[in-house]
Structure 1
Amino acid sequence: MPVILVAIGALTVPLIWIAAQSAMSTAAPATLSEGGSAIDSGARIEIEGLRQQIEGLQAQMGVMQEQIQTIASRPAVIAPQQDTFVQVPESQGFVPDGDNAILDAYAQVVLIANRREVNPGINVGNSRFLEGFLGRPRQHLSNDCEAMDNPKLKSLLRVESVGPIRVQMLQPAIDSLKRVFRNVEATDPDLYARINTAGSLCVRQIRGTVGRTSTHSFGLAVDLNIDGKLDTLGDGKTQLGLTILADFFREEGWVWGAGFTREDSMHFEVSRQMLEKWREEGKI
């Protein structure tokens, strides 16, 4: 029994230390050369690894507590010249795979922490607002991607290579996306090289609705992923690389779909504030 208690104490000390180190690692963000907060990808991945180590230690402590209860319920047995010990399983925490832990971790699927709070102070332009603000991109909508027939919006539509991907979007959105990817490339070129897309412009109604226009219909949204691996819609999880990208998009004023009622973490769209700013600047 005393040996078991000592073992629990030994596990508790690193648990506290890991939590403290995790908090300290998030306390002092770096800065981008062009201004604004930089994203420390290595620190983000280390934090995720520490979180998994903490969960592993907590699981071990739970097993040991059950063992204590089992031993306590047994009658006392004297066994001279024989030590009693508990075999502590090896940690199942985060173990880097390969020479570069960051490279191997970008496509790792993780839970989205506080996902309903990932767009602080940023407002979504819903379909009613977008149609009133920009007009309907197409008179009749279906579940299939079709051509845009709104002449004003169509005049702003462009097809361009933007950083590591090629998109078809409104010109102001393309210009904004270029700034996002420029910052990503400067801060984390390895992540930048692994960004892929599942599409941008798609003039259709929102799946499961009748006549509600998708943000993709206006050329104001893009779906991204790491290494071409598509995210599972609505499971509350995403690729670790997308959580890093989300910080860059938030700095630019984009909305991340991870915060939607039905989580869609591949999805990034222009916010209502950005649209109103572009209108004031005469861009749309």
Structure 2
Amino acid sequence: MRIVPAIILAVAIILAPILWYVVPLVVPFEENFEGPAIDSGARIEIEMLSQQVEDLRNQVERLTQQMSSGQSGGTYLQQQNLDAADDFGFDSSTPNEIIDAYAQVVLIADRKKVNEDLELAGAAFLRETFGLPREELTDECQSMTNPRLQDNLVLEDVGPVRVRMLKPAIESLRTVFENIERTDPDLYARINTAGSLCVRRIRGATESASAHAYGLAVDLNIDGVLDTLGDGKTQLGLTILADFFRDEGWVWGAAWGREDSMHFEVSRDKIEEWLEQGLF
């Protein structure tokens, strides 16, 4: 009859994280928290849950075996709870698991759709709109010589980072960071940059330049830890940042065929809006 409590405990292990997510959606709680990070957090939890279903099944099998062999259920259950916490990317030995979680690496949920209805500017559109950022492009970062772009290029401290970008992009980035700082100051304090302006051609192309070459893109990370390009994973903090950038009209590189989740660039929609406003 030991199999009966094992099954009950197994069901509880599987249902606990599901109920943790579903109940707040069904039962309204009064909160003063506002901001796009709410939806992002829910999406992350769903993704992390789906990744761990198989691990939970394995834990259930081990639990059943241990209970059948007569091992102490309390000791075993305690260990399973610790294992489950580790599986979800939280180190139970740290003093602040929520803050530490920003740097945890997770799979990017539904990454092909993270930019929703935003349109990528693309090299052809940028060249047609502004011309090349310099006449001759190489594989190395060089100075910008295009007068129209050069007149709008500034170097400034924006929020937690220092960037060299076009003025409208810097002001837009400032808005993003202000929203993040107001909504999630702990995350804001962890933001770092891996670079912004780099005037060079796209690898493998001859006369095409990326958004970085136009001063319309920035690479960000958490705590200065660089993301592994193309593995479909990223730091949890970046998935939250992406919500704020999307609301401001920036595209996230996580959706690329070769995922680049540190990369954020101004969308074509936003550039066309600035053009109509005469900002260039």
Do Structure 1 and Structure 2 share a fold, with TM-score over 0.5? Answer: yes
Larger radius of gyration: 1
Aligned match of 1:115:
111
Report the CA distance between 1:53 and its aligned residue: 6.3
Aligned match of 1:263:
259
1:132, 1:179 → 2: CA distance?
Answer: 28
Aligned match of 2:84:
93
Aligned match of 2:154:
158
Report the CA distance between 1:205 and its aligned residue: 1.3
Secondary structure of 2:84's aligned partner: coil
Report the CA distance between 1:194 and its aligned residue: 1.1
2:211, 2:170 → 1: CA distance?
Answer: 15
Aligned match of 2:121:
125
Give unpaired runs (5+ residues) of structure 1. Answer: 69-82
Report the CA distance between 1:49 and its aligned residue: 10
Q: Is the 8 Å Cα contact of residues 156 and 170 (structure 1) preserved in structure 2?
A: yes
Matched, 1:239 2:230: no
Task: Describe how 1:1-284 pairs up with structure 2 within 5 A.
Answer: 2-25=1-24, 37-40=35-38, 47=45, 51=49, 54=53, 56-63=55-62, 84-85=69-70, 90-91=79-80, 92-94=83-85, 95-284=91-280
Report the CA distance between 1:279 and its aligned residue: 0.6
1:99, 1:268 → 2: CA distance?
Answer: 31
Aligned match of 2:88:
none
More helix by share: 2
Report the CA distance between 1:251 and its aligned residue: 1.0
Instruction: Give the superposed CA RMSD.
Output: 2.9
Report the CA distance between 1:44 and its aligned residue: 5.4
Q: 1:160 to 1:39 in 2, by over 3 A?
A: same
TM-score by length of 1: 0.83
Report the CA distance between 1:105 and its aligned residue: 1.0
Secondary structure of 2:209's aligned partner: coil
Report the CA distance between 1:221 and its aligned residue: 0.1
TM-score by length of 2: 0.84
Secondary structure of 1:106's aligned partner: helix
2:210, 2:94 → 1: CA distance?
Answer: 41
Report the CA distance between 1:141 and its aligned residue: 1.1
Q: Tell which deviates more after alignment, 213-222 or 92-101.
A: 92-101
1:183, 1:210 → 2: CA distance?
Answer: 39
2:260 counterpart letter in structure 1: D
Report the CA distance between 1:101 and its aligned residue: 1.6
2:112, 2:125 → 1: CA distance?
Answer: 21
Report the CA distance between 1:127 and its aligned residue: 0.3
Give unpaired runs (5+ residues) of structure 2. Answer: 86-90
1:205, 1:25 → 2: CA distance?
Answer: 48
2:137, 2:233 → 1: CA distance?
Answer: 30
2:94 counterpart letter in structure 1: G
Secondary structure of 2:240's aligned partner: helix
1:208, 1:63 → 2: CA distance?
Answer: 51
Q: Tell which deviates more after alignment, 13-22 or 249-258.
A: 13-22
Report the CA distance between 1:8 and its aligned residue: 2.6
2:48, 2:20 → 1: CA distance?
Answer: 9
Per-residue Cα deviation, 1:232-273 (whole angstroms, up to 9, x for no partner): 100111011111111111111100100111100000000010
Q: 1:84 to 1:195 in 2, by over 3 A?
A: closer
Q: Tell which deviates more after alignment, 164-173 or 9-18.
A: 9-18
Per-residue Cα deviation, 1:162-206 (whole angstroms, up to 9, x for no partner): 000000000000000000000111111111111110000001112
Report the CA distance between 1:135 and its aligned residue: 1.4
Q: 1:84 to 1:115 in 2, by over 3 A?
A: same
Q: Is the 8 Å Cα contact of residues 99 and 186 (structure 2) preserved in structure 1?
A: yes
Per-residue Cα deviation, 1:213-246 (whole angstroms, up to 9, x for no partner): 1110000000000111000100111011111111
1:270, 1:26 → 2: CA distance?
Answer: 33
How many residues matched? 265
Q: 1:264 to 1:14 in 2, by over 3 A?
A: same
Q: Is the 8 Å Cα contact of residues 41 and 188 (structure 1) preserved in structure 2?
A: no
Sequence identity percentage: 49
Q: Is the 8 Å Cα contact of residues 41 and 240 (structure 2) preserved in structure 1?
A: no
